[in-house]
Amino acid sequence: MGLFKRGQTWWIRFTYKGKQIRKSTETDDKKLAARIYHKVLGEVAEGKWFEKLPGEEKTFREMMEKYLNEYASKKVSEKSFRGYAKKPISYLGDYLLSEVTPKIINEYKTRRRNDDVGSASINRELATMKKAFNLAIKEWEWIEKNPVARVSMEEENNKRDRWLTIEEEEQLLKVCPEWLRELTMFALNTGMRLGEIISLEWKGVDLFRRTPEKDIGIQKIKKTSFGLEVSVI
């Protein structure tokens, strides 16, 4: 009988399409394990048994958490990865991976669009999901297909941003309230967004070496007549 024990759990061993299959019965009861074994043999003989990949019973949330912990945590911009994964997890987290289809992904995209989320943000979320599914296929061997790969990306407005001229900067600073002037100068000199500026911490800047920590995305800091000028990478 193809029944054997690993630790306290009984496993079964059988042949399917010329391939040796080993599966846990997830029980320490030998009689129950034997019934499971004979049931599987019957399904194989009748052509009703199909090999399931381990990820088919995993949830979308489990996949994304594994992706964030094992892949995104190694990246400098881990915070961005987690930000783009937050909404997909909240919408799709309880789906089994076997239930996530291109139709489900497209419905998610439509819901995000209806929430007035910009095309660029939606595309970053889709790209994050696509990467996670690719890892689940190629490296973890959880599943076989990537449903995101069959969903079109949103069309983005790729028109380049226009930078203010020196005259426009001076005019802007003249009408700025005193409390807002330094923040405005910092934004003008760095090109950083408001959220990036607010989250910037002194511990991330070395004024002696005039360099920041890598994850801030700044290349060089120097003193100017206005204060500090920061060059963005």
DSSP assignment, residue 200? -
Prediction pTM value: 0.53
Q: pLDDT tens-digit profile of 47-56?
A: 777 766 777 7
Q: pLDDT tens-digit profile of 66-75?
A: 999 998 887 7
Structure confidence at residue 76 as a pLDDT band (50, 70, 90): low
Residue 149 to residues 88, 105, 125, 128, Cα–Cα distance (Å): 15, 10, 13, 12
Q: pLDDT tens-digit profile of 88-104?
A: 999 999 998 988 999 99
What is the C-alpha to C-alpha distance for residues 12 and 35, in angstroms, rounded to an integer?
11
Q: Is the pLDDT of residue 148 over 90?
A: yes
Amino acid making up residue 81: F
Neighbour-count burial of 211, counting CB atoms closer than 10 A to its CB (0-12 exposed, 13-18 middle, 19+ buried): middle
DSSP assignment, residue 48? -
